[in-house]
Amino acid sequence: LKPSVEALSPAAGAAVREAMHLASGPAQDFLQALDRVADAFPENSAAQVVVAQLHGASGDTRAALDRLDRVLIRDSGDVQALAARAALHAADGQYDAAEETLRRLAATDPDNALALAGLAELAAVRGDHASALALLERLRRADPSATEVRL
């Protein structure tokens, strides 16, 4: 489960990772400034998701989940918010919460590659290889070009 901040661009993803490695100082100031901007535009779901991912990358999972939950209150099927929420839970080892979120995503879009790949990954982590393979096969049928499928 990869946070969608990587989808911005490889350079942006690298910059975000580098900035979040700094424990304080300019990176924290930058994140606080982004919080203020995102708070000024609460209806901009894409901005909310990116800022939530930055909080998650900085280790502040609670702030990240709070921001994502506000997006999901407005739009319970927001694909990016659901994917980011699942990734945060999985990264924290909260596999049940990650699975519940991915199932919500799959209910919104049954052929969603992120949901199918994430559910397959969680099944594999839990040792349920038959379910993982079935989900990957479903993903392959839904999206033959999916890079997530590595059979």
Rounded Cα gap, residues 87 and 94, in angstroms: 10
pLDDT computed for residue 103 by the predictor: 95
- % residues pLDDT > 70 (the chain): 79
Residue 6's pLDDT band (cuts 50, 70, 90): very low
How does pLDDT run across 38-78, given as a tens digit for each residue? 888 888 999 899 999 989 988 899 999 999 999 999 999 99
Q: Is the pLDDT of residue 9 over 60?
A: no
For residue 131, the model assigns a pLDDT of 96
Three-state SS for 59?
A: coil
Q: Give the mean model confidence (pLDDT) for residues 14-22.
A: 56
Mean pLDDT lowest for which of 30-34, 90-94, 115-119? 30-34
Please state, in angstroms and as integers, the Cα–Cα distance from residue 89 to each residue in 41, 43, 78, 86, 144, following that order: 25, 24, 17, 5, 28
- Please provide the average confidence, as pLDDT, over all residues in the chain: 83
* Cβ neighbours, 10 Å, residue 23: 9
> What pLDDT is stored for residue 8 in this prediction?
46
Q: What is the pTM of this model?
A: 0.75
d(CA 117, CA 133): 10
